Amino acid sequence: MGDDLLPAIDNVNTFQTFLETETNNQRFNDTTKMESGDYVALGHINDPGFGTTDANAYFDIGYGNYGVYPFINKDSVKIDSVILSLAYHDTSGDTNSLQTVKVFEISPTAGFEDTTLYKFTDPDFAVTGSLLGSKTFIVNTLNDSILHAQPGDTSKLVNVLRIPLDTQLVGRRFVNYDTIAGPLGAYRNDSIFQTLVPGFAIKSDAASGNGGGNALTYYSILDNVNTNLTIYFKATKNGVTDTSSISFAHITRIKNGQYAVGQANIIKRTEGGPYLTYLNNGPSLDDQLYIQSAPGSYATIKIPGLDTFQNAVVHRAELIITRLPDPSANIFTPPSALFLDRISDAGDTASTFDLDMGLQIGLSSSTYDLAHFGGSLNSDDTYHFNITRYVQKILTEKKKNYTLRVYAPLRTFLYSEAAGVRIPPIPVISEIANGRVVLAGGNYSNPAFRLRLRVVYSKI
Helix (H, G, I), strand (E, B) or coil at 119: strand
Same domain for 127 and 19: no
Please report the pLDDT score of residue 2 as a whole number: 47
Same domain for 303 and 250: no
Would you say residue 403 lies in a domain? Answer: yes
pLDDT digits 0-9 by tens, 36-45: 999 999 999 9
Query: Would the pLDDT of 173 be above 80?
Result: yes
Would you say residue 122 lies in a domain? Answer: yes
Domain that holds residue 172: 51-270
pLDDT digits 0-9 by tens, 56-94: 999 999 999 999 999 999 999 999 999 999 999 999 999
Same domain for 388 and 259: no
Query: Would the pLDDT of 365 be above 80?
Result: yes
Would you say residue 72 lies in a domain? Answer: yes
- Answer yes or no: are the C-beta atoms of 6 and 388 closer than 8 Å: no
Same domain for 254 and 203: yes
Domain's final residue, options 270, 300, 326? 270
Domain's final residue, options 238, 255, 270? 270
Same domain for 237 and 280: no
- Answer yes or no: are the C-beta atoms of 288 and 400 closer than 8 Å: no
Query: Would the pLDDT of 280 be above 70?
Result: yes
**Nearest Cα residue to 401 out of 334, 318, 342:** 342
Same domain for 280 and 202: no
- As a whole number of angstroms, the distance between CA 15 and CA 318 comes to 14
Would you say residue 134 lies in a domain? Answer: yes
Would you say residue 322 lies in a domain? Answer: yes
Any idea what the Cα angle at residue 269 is, between residues 266 and 274, rounded to 5°? Answer: 165
pLDDT digits 0-9 by tens, 238-279: 899 999 999 999 999 888 888 899 999 999 999 999 999 999
Residues near 33 by Cβ (< 8 Å), separated by ≥ 6? 117, 118, 119, 120
Would you say residue 262 lies in a domain? Answer: yes
Please report the pLDDT score of residue 348 as a whole number: 86
Counting the structural domains of the chain, the total is 2
Would you say residue 38 lies in a domain? Answer: no
Strands 403-407 and 297-302: antiparallel
Same domain for 323 and 203: no
Same domain for 357 and 298: yes
Same domain for 296 and 202: no
* The amino acid at 395: L
Same domain for 210 and 126: yes
Residue 231 — φ and ψ, nearest 5°?
A: -110, 120
Domain's final residue, options 213, 240, 270? 270
Residue 353 CB coordination number (10 Å): 25
Would you say residue 3 lies in a domain? Answer: no
pTM for the model stands at 0.93
pLDDT digits 0-9 by tens, 182-233: 899 999 999 999 999 999 999 998 755 555 679 999 999 999 999 999 999 9
Same domain for 145 and 92: yes
- As a whole number of angstroms, the distance between CA 381 and CA 401 comes to 27
Same domain for 318 and 453: yes
